Amino acid sequence: MTRLTVNGAEVVVTSDGDTPLLTVLRDELGLVGSRFGCGQGLCGACFVRLGDAVVPSCQTPLWQAEGQAVTTVEGLAGGEGPHPVQAAILERQAAQCGFCIAGIVVRAAALLDSEPGPDSARVAEALERNLCRCGSQQRIVEAVVAAGGGHG
């Protein structure tokens, strides 16, 4: 059994320590926002925050998450409503199919935590590892800039 803090709540999971964190989040905890994309940690669909780092949960073994805070896209929203990145993406209808957006939102929220008010070039750079097959990257970048209070 492994103890984790996921989205602010203490949980105990029974998966083996080598199980990918993504599998534990989806199958054992029912947090299905993070998606399995490439399975190699390259596409960003499965990104979660582990402490202060954004990691591919498909490549992160459960043992590595023990004792650290795990934040998924479900954990970004607060009691007052969606996270500013989530709200901006919804307001601007920036996402299309929704497959990659969870990882993008997690990465963008981490960026705004560390760098408030980034311009569009910085946002695009930060989201470079996140692959969007729908082609909505520019709308997503614009939404993240707006969420950070910037203007492009």
pTM of the model: 0.91
pLDDT (0 to 100) of residue 150: 73
The CATH homologous superfamily for domain 2-74 is Beta-grasp domain (3.10.20.30)
Region(s) of the chain under CATH 3.10.20.30: 2-74
The 10s digit of each residue's pLDDT in 79-127 is 789 999 999 999 999 988 888 899 999 999 999 999 999 999 999 999 9
- For the segment(s) 84-147, the CATH number from 3.40.50.620, 3.40.50.720, 1.10.10.10, 1.10.150.120 is 1.10.150.120
For residue 49, which of 8, 100, 94 has the smallest C-alpha distance? 8
The 10s digit of each residue's pLDDT in 19-48 is 999 999 999 999 999 999 999 988 999 999
Block residue for tokens 């990257």: 137
Beta-carbon contacts of residue 26 (< 8 Å; ≥ 6 apart): 32, 34, 36
Beta-carbon contacts of residue 129 (< 8 Å; ≥ 6 apart): 42, 43, 44, 107
